[in-house]
Amino acid sequence: MEVAIFKTADEASRAAACLIGRSLKEKSSGTVLGLATGQTPLGTYEELVKMHKAAKISFRNVTAFNLDEYVGLEASDPRSYRAYMREHLFSKVDIESARCFIPDGSTRDPRAECTTYEEKIRKAGGIDLQLLGLGQDGHIGFNEPSSSLSSRTRLKTLTHVTRAANAANFGGSEKVPQHVLTMGLGTIMEARHCVLLALGANKADAVQKMVEGPLSAMLPASILQMHPRCTVILDEAAASGLARQNYYREVFAGKPAWQRWDLPLD
C-alpha cells in the first residue's frame, strides 16, 4: 500500500486527478476506469474536467464502470448516481455515453442485473484503475461491515451510519434508499490498480484502521492491504490518526522523479 499525504483536500484531489490522467495517457487503446460517487471525488472530477478542457487528456476511448447505485431510483432521478456522474463528469468530457456503465437501480431483477454487470466488466477486459472513497464505517463501494471479503456485485443493505451520511440529498436519512447494488470486494480487488481517496477528519479513524489495523470484514476497506497495487491519497486531516505518518511521508518524498504520479501533466 502506498500512502500519499497532501496538505489540503484540494492538493490531494489534484494529485488523484493527475494519477488518473496519467493512466488515460498511458493506455491509448482505452483505459477502463472504475469510478466512485459521493463528496470525496468531486474535486478530482473538477480537475479532470479542467485537464480535458486544456486538451491534456481525452476520454474518447475510456470505458467507465461505477461502483454502485441506489435501488429503486430511475436513472433520470436527480438523486441517482447516474445523474451525479452525468452532472459532474460525463457531460463535461468527451466520453461516449454507451461506454458509461452504472448498475441499474431501477431493475426488477437485481440478481440478473448484478451478474450482467460483472460480465460487462469482464468483457471490457477488467478495470485498469478503480477510484474509491471510504465510508466512516470502513466501507468501499457499498460493502458495509461484515461483507464477504470475496463478494461480487450484488444487492446490499446500507447501515444507519451510511444512510445518515447521505441524508442531505434525500431530505433526511430515513428517506435514503435502504438498498443498493454495489460491486463486491472481490470485484474491486480484481482492478489492476486501486486508488483510494479520503479527505477530512471524519475519515481519520477509518483510514487508520484500513492502513494499520488488522484485516477484517468488519472494516471492509482493510482488504486493500492484500492488493498488489493500491495507492491511498489523503489530506492531512484524514491522515491524522496514522501511527506511521512520518514513514509514509519519507517514502513518498524519496520517490525518484520518474515514479512521481502527482505532478501536473504536460
State the catalytic residues: 68, 137, 139, 144
38 binds ligand F6R per the rule CB under 6 A: yes
> Which stretch, 120-128, 137-145, 223-231, 247-255, contacts ligand F6R (CB under 6 A)?
137-145
Contacting residue, 110, 135, 138, 220, with ligand F6R by CB under 6 A: 135
Nearest one of 64, 133, 134, 131 to 100, comparing CA atoms:
64
> Which stretch, 43-51, 129-137, 144-152, 246-254, contacts ligand F6R (CB under 6 A)?
129-137
Q: Which residues of 209-231 are buried (b: 16+ CB within 10 A; e: fewer)?
A: bbbebeeebebbbbbbeebeebb
List helix spans (H) across the chain: 9-26, 42-53, 81-88, 110-123, 160-165, 185-189, 204-212, 236-239, 245-253
Smallest gap, in angstroms, from Cβ of residue 255 to ligand F6R?
Answer: 26
HSE of 93, CA atoms in CB hemisphere, 13 A = 30
Which residues inside 186-215 make contact with ligand F6R, applying CB under 6 A? none
Contacting residue, 37, 63, 147, 208, with ligand F6R by CB under 6 A: 37
Give the start-end residues of each E strand in 44-171. 63-66, 68-70, 100-101, 129-132, 154-157
Smallest gap, in angstroms, from Cβ of residue 85 to ligand F6R?
Answer: 10
Grid coordinates given for 86 = 452525468
* Other Cβ atoms closer than 10 A to 175: 12
Contacting residue, 133, 177, 184, 220, with ligand F6R by CB under 6 A: 133
Smallest gap, in angstroms, from Cβ of residue 252 to ligand F6R?
Answer: 23
103 binds ligand F6R per the rule CB under 6 A: no
Residue pair 18/264 in contact (Cβ under 8 Å)? The answer is: yes
39 binds ligand F6R per the rule CB under 6 A: yes
Smallest gap, in angstroms, from Cβ of residue 43 to ligand F6R?
Answer: 11
List of residues contacting ligand F6R (CB under 6 A): 36-40, 67-68, 133-135, 139-142
